[in-house]
Structure 1
C-alpha cells in the first residue's frame, strides 16, 4: 500500500544539481535537505547524471505520486523540473543555488538557499501553494516545452549557440569570446511576429518573450512582465548596430533599455515567432528552433510559498 492509498501525502522529491553555480553550494545540500525535512514530510533525492536524466527522473517522480517537487540549482535545473510539474497539481519549490536564479527570485523566493527552503518547508507544513503562469512553446514538429522565465530568440540566443559549439576556452571566458565573435557578425534579421493573430514584420537583433522580468542572472529584459497576469511580454531590439548594442546592453539590468527609440514592447496571450536560422534558449537552456508558438498558460504551476 502506498502513502497515497493511506491518504497520506507522497514524499517531497528533490532534484539537486551539484554543479549549479559552479558548485559553490555543493556542501550546503545536507542542510537544505534537513530544512525540507522540518516540514514533517519524507524527502526523496532524485538521482541523475545528465540534464536529460534529471528531466526523466522528475517525470517519473510525478508519475509515481510524489507530494511535491523541489529543484535545488539554477534556472536550468528549474527548467528541467518544470517539464514534469507544469499543468499538474503537484506543487513546486525552486531553491536558488545556481549562477542564474531568475525564476525563483522573480516569483518571490529569497535569493538565499537556506531561507528559500524555510519558505518551502513552511508552505508544505501549511499545505499552501500559490498559482503562477508558465509559458508553453510549440515547435513546427509538434514538440512542446514549458518555461518559467524568458525565451531568448535573438542576439543572446545566437551567442549561447556559438558558446555551446566552442570547445575552447573553458568556463565563462568561452561565453565572453562568443559575444565578441557574434558582435563582429551582428546584423538585423527579419522576423515575423504574430501577436494574438496580428502579424508584424520587423528587422531586429534582439527578441525576448517573457513570463517573468529577468534572465541571465538579473537582467531585466522584459521589466513589466508579471507571471500572474495571463500574458506574455515581448521586447524587440530593432535595427541596432554594434556600438548602440554595447551602449544599451548595460541598461538591461535596470530595465531602462525599453525607453530606447529602437526598442519596442508588446503584450499578448499567444506569440508566434518566425525567423531563419535561430535556435531559441528558454530559461537559459537550449530549446526549439524557430518557428515557435508561445502561449501564456494561467495558473499552470503551483508554487510552495
Structure 2
C-alpha cells in the first residue's frame, strides 16, 4: 500500500475561489458561473468562499488553505488580490488572479490576460500541468509589529492622501467622491518632508508623491514605477518632488505611459529594502488602505507561485 504524504493531500484538495461580486462596479457579476466551470476543467473540486467584508475574505482564505486547499483563485480587482495575497504569500499554495475589477494591475503586470475567461483558461491549464511561476512580493512592516504583503504598488504621497480623504467622505457616492477628493487635496497641495532609507542609505526629500513598486502599475494602468520588474528581487521607488498644482496636473497624465520619470522633478531609485517615514500619511497598497508611516518594505523573491 502506497503512503500518502501531506503534499499528496494538498494536491488533491479543492481549488478555493474568492470572488468579489462588486468588483469593477459589478460588470462581471454574471461571469462567475463560467469562471467556476472553467476552473473545474482542471479536474479538481472547486470551492466558492463566502465573505462580505475584507476581513471576512482574508479569514475565509485562511480557513480554506488551513483545510487543505490545493490552490487559491481571486476573482476581482487588485483589492481582492490583495486580500488573497495575505494568505498565500510565503507559502507553497499556488495562486491565480482572475482580473474582474476596476484596477487589475497585479494580474496584468504578472502576465495574465485582461479577459477574465482567458485568464481562467490559463489558470486551469497550469493546474492541470502542475505548473507555477514564482514572482516577488513586497512585505511591509512597522516598528509596532504590523505586517502586510502587497503585489503591485505602495502609494505614500498625494494619491494616498486623496484616497484617505475620499474614504472619509460620505457624499457624493461613486466615482464623483474620488474626483471631489482630488480637487480638495489639490487646493491643499504642499510638499512634505520624507526620510527614505534605501538599503541603509538615508535620503531626505521634499515631495508630493512617493511610490514603491513591486510591479509597474497602479490605479488601473498608471505606470507609476515603469521599470519595476516583479521577478528581479528589487523594489522601484519613484519620488515626485516639489510639484506645484499646475505642474502636477500637467505631469499626472504622463503616468499612464510611464514618461513622467523623465521630468526633472522626478527621481527614481531601486533597492531591496526601503524605509519610508513622514508625518501624517496613511499608505495605500494595491489600492487598499494599509499601514501608517513609517514603514519598512522588503522585496521577497519568489514569495508567491502564480498559476500560469
- TM tier relative to shorter chain: over 0.9
Quick check: 1:214 aligned with 2:223?
no
Q: Report what 2:283 is aligned to.
A: 280
CA drift at 1:3: 9.2
Distance 1:8 1:152 in 2: 37
CA contact (8 A) 2:10 2:68 kept: no
* CA pair 178-229 structure 1, distance change in 2 beyond 3 A: same
The two structures have a TM-score, normalised by structure 2, of 0.97
The two structures have a TM-score, normalised by structure 1, of 0.98
Distance 2:302 2:244 in 1: 39
How many residues are matched? 305
Among 188, 193, 196, the residue aligned to 1:190: 193
Q: Report what 1:166 is aligned to.
A: 169
Superposition RMSD in Å: 1.3
CA contact (8 A) 1:3 1:10 kept: no
CA drift at 1:2: 11
Q: Report what 1:32 is aligned to.
A: 35
Q: Report what 1:266 is aligned to.
A: 269
CA drift at 1:9: 1.9
Q: Report what 1:131 is aligned to.
A: 134
CA drift at 1:60: 1.1
SS state of the match for residue 12, structure 2?
coil
Q: Report what 1:234 is aligned to.
A: 237
Among 83, 86, 92, the residue aligned to 1:83: 86
Distance 1:282 1:46 in 2: 23
Quick check: 1:292 aligned with 2:295?
yes
Quick check: 1:67 aligned with 2:40?
no
Gap runs ≥5 in structure 2: none
Distance 1:295 1:44 in 2: 33
CA drift at 1:62: 1.2
Q: Which string of whole-angstrom CA distances, capped at 9 and with x for unpartnered residues, describes residues 57-77 of structure 1?
A: 111111111100000000000
Runs of 4+ in 1 over 6 A off after TM superposition: 1-5
Quick check: 1:106 aligned with 2:112?
no
The equivalences for 1:246-265 within 5 A come to: 246-265=249-268
Distance 2:55 2:140 in 1: 18
Q: Report what 1:245 is aligned to.
A: 248
CA contact (8 A) 2:11 2:70 kept: no
Gap runs ≥5 in structure 1: none
Q: Which moved more, 1:58-67 or 1:80-89?
A: 58-67
CA contact (8 A) 1:209 1:235 kept: yes
CA drift at 1:140: 2.5
Q: Which string of whole-angstrom CA distances, capped at 9 and with x for unpartnered residues, describes residues 251-292 of structure 1?
A: 000000000000000000000000000000000000000000
Distance 1:286 1:207 in 2: 15
